[in-house]
Structures are given as structure tokens and as C-alpha cells.
Amino acid sequence: MTVLITGGAGFIGQHLARRLVADGHSVLALDTLLGQVHVDPQASVAAFPGPVIVGDVADASAWTDLPQVNAVVHLAAETGTGQSMYEVERYHRVNVEGTARAGAFAADRGIPLVALSSRAVYGEGRHGCLIHGVAFGAPCCAHTAPEASREADPHHPVSVYGETKSEGEAALGPVGAAVPVTIIRPQNVIGPGQALHNPYTGVLAAFLAMLKEGKPLTLYGAGTQTRDFLHVEDLAALIAWALATPPQPGRPRVLNAGSGVRTTLLELARYAAAGAPVPTYGITHLDIHRAGDIDHACADLTLVRAVGAPLPRWTTADAVADFVAASWDKTGAPASAWDGALGELRERGLTS
């Protein structure tokens, strides 16, 4: 089949495209080649194993006159949690309107859609409590511990980014009645090809820049925050499965995408330093909290397992090592760019 991948020239899209081509499919990308992500747009186009149509998913005109395709994977999105707190309109336009247009396109053409949402819809997510049972969105009292989020959990986004992803999912409601729709909620996706020039998101890219410059790794807070790091190849395998195994129209499916393993940022720093080919210079703790940042995230994979979707194969340590090895010789933004992005938040009163 021929698959249209919005945002196909980006990190996840390139991996997915190669995976689909290896499986015998053809791919086509619709991508804005946004400067914040694509420092060399021509190289991104050249790397994509199919035609790249330059267009903005939020523009109605980008969706007219597209060639015939058999399925759509909607990846195009604005992804910076902190940046979303002040670029509200831009995030809304791309993530909500763009997703609605992707859904309308799939419904018009009568073809399946796989749309990437985010675990950001859960916000602080599920907490188990000794006294109150389960709490969502925020710990209810001091007796809670974070638990892995399940697909049926309520949405409690704490960032504009998370809100736009939640609204984007809602915009697909009517589409799911007409054509097969799978919504995937990835955790923190890492791996070779990850943006190294975008200081608005991606703690691992920040760590890489610091390691290369022989600087200590900066942790915002104690480093006890947790994330679930998923290797991009594992996400590509899940999306490929979702395309090959569409749900019935009228029964839209939501699936988490994660490793299912909770990793503290301190552990992440250790894995990154272990993968660096130079001695490392420790850790600096910055007493700062970015508005929109959550403390804990981890995916519950019970449903993924139950539907027979592929489970992640990469361990977090190996995934981090793979990223560092593949990215060490690549040019990226200097470590100071992450300080700059933090400064932008500080100026706007979006740190505490």
C-alpha cells in the first residue's frame, strides 16, 4: 500500500518510512520542513524514501490534490512542552486544526488513519494512594506513588501542548465512526536522527550537547522526575502494526507507546554519560521548574499486550547508548541553546 505520512521528514517519520518501505510499502510525506526542526531541509528531503510534498497540515490547501494513498499516518505536530506555554496559537493551530484536517482527509477518502497523540494528555497521570485508592492528574495526598498510565485514564493535561493533543484526539471522534482510527500516545521517543538543534524539547539532546562540550549535565530539580524512554524503532514497529491491523470503523482504538519502564533523569544522565566516548564532568542541579513540566510519566502496556501489538525490544540503557553513538559526530545546537530556551521561559514568568 501507499502511506501518506504527515511530518514524514522528521525524526519518527524517517524511521517509520524506512520500516514501511522495508515491508514492501510506498511512502509519501506531507511536511512543512519547519526550520526549528530541519536545520538542513534538503537533507531531510533526500533522506526520505519517497516524495516529500511541502505543506502545512493546518492549511486546507495542503490537503487538496494529494495523490491517491491507502492510509494516513499523522505525525506532524508542534512538540515543545515549554514552548507551547507561550506559542499557544501556533500549537493549537497545528496540533488541533492539523489533526482535524488529517481526520477529514481520511474520512473523505475512506482510508484508515493512525494519528500520534502524546502521553501528555494524562498530565501527572495515575497515582496509587494508600488512603484514597487511585488519584488522577495530581497526587491527592502524601501517601501516593506514581503508577503507569492506562489508555482509559482521564485526560488531565498540564501544558498547552498536552491540551492541544487532547483536543486533537477529540477532533478525531467523528472520523473514528467512519474509518478505522488508531490513536497512539507515545512517551519520550529517542534514537538516532532525533533533533539535535531544537532546544525546546528533548532532554537527551541537551545532555549530548553538554557531554560534547565537556560540561556537567544540567538537571532541572533533583533529577528524581521520571520518564519512559521509547526507542524510535519500537515506535515505528507499533505504527506499522497499527497500519497492518486496522480496527473496525466505529471502534477507534487508543494505544500507549512506551517502554513500560520508569527511568529517573538521574539514571538517564548516567546512561548518557556511560555512552559518551570522553570523560564526563558530573551533574549540575538547577533549582528551576518549567511551567507545563510533569514529574512522572510511564506507560502501562497491558492493552498493547492484549491486542497483540509488538512490545518494545530496546532497553532504556541500550536505546540511550544507541542515540549517543549515532549522534556524537553530528552537529547540533550548542549547550548554551538550552540555557537560551530556559531564559525565554524565565522572561515570560514560566519558571518557578
Residues in touch with ligand UD2 (CB under 6 A):
79, 81, 118-120, 188-189, 201-203, 206, 218-220, 225, 227, 265, 290, 293, 297, 338
Do residues 146 and 166 touch, judged by C-beta distance below 8 A?
Answer: no
**Which is closer to ligand UD2, CB of 203 or CB of 333?**
203
Least Å distance, CB 320 to ligand UD2, is 12
Do residues 115 and 77 touch, judged by C-beta distance below 8 A?
Answer: no
Which of 274, 176, 256 is closest to 217 using CA atoms? 274
The alpha carbon of residue 55 and the mean position of all alpha carbons in its chain are separated, in whole angstroms, by 21
Which member of 91, 122, 161, 271 is catalytic? Answer: 161
Q: Which helix (H) or strand (E) holds 17?
A: helix 11-22
Least Å distance, CB 291 to ligand UD2, is 11
**Which is closer to ligand UD2, CB of 144 or CB of 194?**
194
Least Å distance, CB 348 to ligand UD2, is 16
Least Å distance, CB 1 to ligand UD2, is 27
**Which is closer to ligand UD2, CB of 107 or CB of 265?**
265
Three cell numbers at 2?
Answer: 501507499
Give 210-214's long-range contacts (Cβ < 8 A, gap of 24+): 210/335, 211/272, 211/273, 211/276, 211/278, 211/280, 211/324, 212/276, 212/278, 212/328, 212/332, 212/335, 213/334, 213/335, 214/278, 214/281
Angle (CA) 319 160 254, round 5° = 60
> 132-161: b or e for each residue (b if 16 or more CB lie within 10 Å)?
eeebbbebeeeebebbbbbbebebbbbbbb
161 catalytic residue (yes or no): yes
Residues designated as active site? 161
